[in-house]
Structure 1
Amino acid sequence: MEDNSLITHAEEIKQNIHHDKKRNDPIFLVGIEIEGCLLNDKGLPVDAAPLIEASLNTKHPLDYEYGKCQFEFKTNPFSFYELSKINDTTQDFIESLDNLVRKAYPSQNVIPVFLGANPSPIFSDETIITDKPRYKKISEWQSAFPDAQMDGQTFKSNLIGTAIQGFHFHLQGKNPDYTAHMFNHILNLIPSSILLGANSRLIAGRTYSVYEPRVFLFDQAEGQNSGFPAISKYLDSLEEYVNYVASRQPILASNYYELEKERHDDVRIRITDESYRVETRILSVQPTAQELICMIEFFIGYLHHTISEQRPLRPLPDIREERMSTIRSGFNAQGVFDFTESIMLELDFAKKGLYDLNVNPEFIDILYRRLENKTSAGEAVVNMWDKKFNGSLEETTVEVISEIWDHTKKNKPIT
């Protein structure tokens, strides 16, 4: 990072971190970001702008995303004691979304889709990118990267973001050092998060052999600006993370906070004047609120237990290797440890951590069930596609997303 103003700001951030060592902020405050997309009853993308504009004066305002057919819903932070309230809030959002879609598109049958990838067969040119300066600049930057390849299919790097949807959540640390510990331990969860949270095998009108195409393609679309953090060792301090972020070339950023947001890593640390928090970005959006909350329970419980017990961290090269194997092969991946046994241990750690926090785990059994059945939401969608496929991509797409939307509205997990 050569911009002097960015360097100066990064140094100011490090000074603030030093002064904040003794902070004792509420731990594990949770804020979530849910991305979705809109298709019509022909399986074609629908411009989300009318829906977003109609939502702005409601209690569940939406925001624009990279693709024109995409939208994003965010919540304010909740205490970790209120995870059931996040479930209720998300379900309330889904109910209001159902009504708002009808009002925003009175002459169309529009279906919201909460999959990690856009299943529409239409995935072709720059007209599907949201017409805003920031997104146009990102598109221009990504266009310099080679096309991505998957199962013999070519994807333009600058269009991949229009066809993938994630589930991001923020967890607050009580001080800078604790936040660095959270970051380190979350890195250990990345392979299992992919394995249990994959939900993007149906993309661009077909299913693929890759277990989690959303991550596989995005890694290619952004070169070294996304994926597993490009660190050589675990963080000893939060200042080291600031140095890591500050070493990157900016795309649009004019200060450290903006540069931080331009790092599309699996997990990143967000620093503000008010808080220190980690943001997970590895997960695909899940079809239902329960399937979203079970992932939060997994992370919070695991972090509390492993940090409190000072559990050892695994070698970063092993995690990187398992991450790539899991993205490609899922439960068929070969890891340093037996995946089933190691993930069962992580889930048990998480459940114990939740009980130690006096939190009754409500939804984590969804993940135990996925592990036992060696499946994920993405695998369930593939099975759904295979059963319904009638030779027409458009008709099958609509049948699949309609069934998934029914699960979403009923908050009935598909796994």
Structure 2
Amino acid sequence: MNNFSVLEKQVKELKLKIRKDRLKYDELFKVGIEVEGCLLDDKAVPVNAADLIEELSGSSFFERTGCMIDYEYGSCQFEFKTPPLTFRNLSKINELYEEFIIENLNIALGKVFKNRNVIPVFLGANPSPYVLNDSIVTNNERYIKLFKWQSTFSDIEFEGKRIRPSHVAAAIQGFHFHLQSRNPVHAVQMFNHILNLIPSSILLGASSKLFAGTIFSYHEPRIYLYDRSEQQDSGFPAIPRYLDNMEDYIEYIKSRKPDTATDYFQLEKERHDDIRIRLNSEFYRVETRIISVQPTPKSLMAMIEFFIGYLYHVISGKSSIKDLLRPLSTIREERVFSIQNGFGGKSHINLKDSLTIQLDYAKKGLSELGIRPEFIYILEKRLDNKMAPSVYVGNLWNKYFNGHIDQTISEIILEVWQRTKNNNPIF
């Protein structure tokens, strides 16, 4: 059976499954998180994470909790993942992530790197000026294929720098989270409404202004560079209109030209859109990929509270505004504006007003779910103070820069790491 026949067979089976599952009533908003980080030493040199990953993999913490530690595209990167957990106790997820950082990651660093001061960095971009080179890619078949494919693309020109597309993924870190829907109908509603949160998520969650030894003017360079390094495989979903049903999404995935994929589920995984619907299990999960990794666990929980509360309120139909699905062209424009300008841009676009409404709806939704908000205040304060981790890191650069890039970066990542260990959010 050729690849086309395999794909057609899978699509037919998925559509039959969707019709059968329309009245499913799965547990709402079970959440799984994926947090990417990287390792640098106190001279701002990337450090291979393989030995650390091996050390952590043997920890009883992972067996007890069901969490995982894994490799990433860059050899200096690692990924921490949780199993799907109830959204009703995000403080427990916060504590779980704290336990990983303080009682596992921090201790393992001392064991593995006895003669080297190695610092984990939870920022959207790797600050090291030495990260953009071929040797930084993890020796893994999937990553090597991606590296070779991206090596055929033209360099990205960005604010006077030339960056090879094949180097970008090794130098950026994201925060991805999955939210479980009730059924395929509910998953489509979630997908459509999350599209409307993309510009706000960028504005409040940007954390990649310091990239590869350079402070860029963009609020969130990570997304700009990733979109260009992935070409058709990244960015705002290339849909002409909001989804009417899950079949629309399947046809969208099916229509994409594959890079190396040979079936639907590989095509689904190849699409690194801001949001995607995962159909690779018995559940219907919506994955958000737009947010940069945040320096502290509490900030990650704030983002999850924001999404869950907002989605519940607007999908339940309790919003006073009836037409909440704004034109896709408007959202695309706001996305570009947020990436480039953050809080500082002057335009006809007023993100503050829409974000204020979204945060208010999120708090109402949490209340309707019977949840006392614990973390969303972080995002409210960021909006009031026009502050995001990206702005904070830019301020640290201005504070510490003394003409020596390596030393400046070392001081910045040490200060950010202290915030991470203390779970002291930036706002």
Q: Same fold (TM over 0.5)?
A: yes
1:93 to 93, 100, 104: 100
Residue 254 of structure 1 and its aligned partner are, at CA, apart by 3.0
Report the residue type matching 1:11 in the other structure. K
> Structure 1's 336 and 265: CA in aligned 2 closer, same or farther, altered over 3 A?
farther
Equivalent residue, structure 1, for 2:372: 360
Taking the TM superposition and a 5 Å limit, the aligned residue runs for 1:393-408 are 393-408=405-420
Structure 1 contact 38–113 (Cα < 8 Å) conserved = yes
Taking the TM superposition and a 5 Å limit, the aligned residue runs for 1:131-142 are 131-142=139-150
Structure 1 contact 322–336 (Cα < 8 Å) conserved = no
1:371 and 2:378 equivalent?
A: no
Report the residue type matching 2:370 in the other structure. N
Amino-acid identity (%): 52
Distance, in Å, in 2 between the alignment partners of 1:373 and 1:146 is 39
Distance, in Å, in 1 between the alignment partners of 2:281 and 2:406 is 48
Distance, in Å, in 2 between the alignment partners of 1:237 and 1:163 is 36
Structure 1 contact 325–334 (Cα < 8 Å) conserved = no
Equivalent residue, structure 2, for 1:78: 85
Report the residue type matching 1:165 in the other structure. Q
Structure 2 contact 132–168 (Cα < 8 Å) conserved = no
Report the residue type matching 1:88 in the other structure. E
Structure 1 contact 35–165 (Cα < 8 Å) conserved = yes
Distance, in Å, in 1 between the alignment partners of 2:257 and 2:352 is 39
Distance, in Å, in 2 between the alignment partners of 1:135 and 1:225 is 15
Distance, in Å, in 2 between the alignment partners of 1:335 and 1:411 is 35
Equivalent residue, structure 2, for 1:55: 56
Equivalent residue, structure 2, for 1:36: 37
> Structure 1's 348 and 50: CA in aligned 2 closer, same or farther, altered over 3 A?
same
> Gaps spanning 5+ residues in structure 2: where?
63-67
2:175 to 164, 167, 175: 167
Equivalent residue, structure 2, for 1:107: 115
Equivalent residue, structure 2, for 1:301: 309
Structure 1 contact 33–72 (Cα < 8 Å) conserved = yes
1:126 and 2:127 equivalent?
A: no
Equivalent residue, structure 2, for 1:413: 425
1:321 to 333, 336, 354: 333
> Gaps spanning 5+ residues in structure 1: where?
none
Report the residue type matching 1:356 in the other structure. E
Residue 399 of structure 1 and its aligned partner are, at CA, apart by 0.6
CA-to-aligned-CA distance 1:243-288 (integer Å, 9 cap, x gap): 1011112223232222111100001001133200100000000000
Residue 6 of structure 1 and its aligned partner are, at CA, apart by 1.8
Report the residue type matching 2:85 in the other structure. F
CA-to-aligned-CA distance 1:276-331 (integer Å, 9 cap, x gap): 01000000000000011000000000000111117420000000011011111112
1:340 to 352, 367, 383: 352
SS at the partner of 1:253?
coil
Report the residue type matching 1:372 in the other structure. D
Distance, in Å, in 1 between the alignment partners of 2:116 and 2:191 is 44
Distance, in Å, in 2 between the alignment partners of 1:385 and 1:206 is 10
Report the residue type matching 2:312 in the other structure. H
Distance, in Å, in 2 between the alignment partners of 1:72 and 1:222 is 20
Compare 267-276 and 221-230 and name the one that shifted more: 267-276
1:212 and 2:213 equivalent?
A: no
Residue 337 of structure 1 and its aligned partner are, at CA, apart by 4.7
> Structure 1's 317 and 335: CA in aligned 2 closer, same or farther, altered over 3 A?
farther
Report the residue type matching 2:37 in the other structure. G
Report the residue type matching 2:358 in the other structure. E
Could you say what the CA RMSD is over the residues aligned between the two structures, in angstroms? 1.3
SS at the partner of 2:132?
coil
Normalising by the residue count of structure 1, what TM-score does the alignment of the two structures yield?
0.98
Report the residue type matching 1:295 in the other structure. M
Equivalent residue, structure 2, for 1:221: 229
Residue 106 of structure 1 and its aligned partner are, at CA, apart by 1.5
Residue 2 of structure 1 and its aligned partner are, at CA, apart by 6.4
Compare 201-210 and 303-312 and name the one that shifted more: 303-312
SS at the partner of 2:26?
coil
Compare 250-259 and 376-385 and name the one that shifted more: 250-259
SS at the partner of 2:257?
coil
Distance, in Å, in 1 between the alignment partners of 2:356 and 2:115 is 49
1:386 to 370, 381, 398: 398
Aligned length: 415
1:149 and 2:150 equivalent?
A: no
Residue 125 of structure 1 and its aligned partner are, at CA, apart by 2.0
Structure 1 contact 318–336 (Cα < 8 Å) conserved = no
Structure 1 contact 101–110 (Cα < 8 Å) conserved = yes
Residue 20 of structure 1 and its aligned partner are, at CA, apart by 0.6
Distance, in Å, in 1 between the alignment partners of 2:346 and 2:181 is 33
SS at the partner of 1:340?
helix
Distance, in Å, in 2 between the alignment partners of 1:336 and 1:4 is 49
Structure 1 contact 145–222 (Cα < 8 Å) conserved = no
Taking the TM superposition and a 5 Å limit, the aligned residue runs for 1:249-260 are 249-260=257-268
Report the residue type matching 2:262 in the other structure. S
